[in-house]
Structure 1
Amino acid sequence: MKTFKVTELKRELQKLDKKELITIISDLYKANKEVTKSLSVKFGGSKMVDELYQEAKQFFQNEENLKCV
């Protein structure tokens, strides 16, 4: 499957109204964990960065603990 280049995507997005853009972004937010994290950091500020850091830290600590077992 051929995908749009960023410039092509931007051109198509410029044709949409605000409501359509909000719907697309909301759908991506719900469907993709990386988009959820990225937008949460963008709009949630340093508090969200700290929360995601703590989650990642806990994940890697758990991984290390599993290796020791």
Structure 2
Amino acid sequence: MFRESEAASYSGLAVKHFKIACPVQPIQLRPGVMLWDKRDLDLWIDDVKTGTHASTHDAILGRL
């Protein structure tokens, strides 16, 4: 599990770009602590690599 800055770094993006680009939703394990699952990030990155990722904002939201 990654905090936001760690998840952004893991994906190779600056935090501000990660917030915009990443469709993976964090989970809240305890109040105020939002964490991203590494496996979910890997699936997203794999989708981007294979070209199967959603190309529009609406399509991304539809996947959530």
Determine which structure has the larger helix proportion and give its number. 1
* Common fold by TM > 0.5: no
The structure with the largest alpha-carbon Rg is 1
TM-score (normalizing by structure 2)? 0.27
Question: Which structure has more RCO (C-alpha within 8 Å, separation ≥ 6)?
Answer: 2
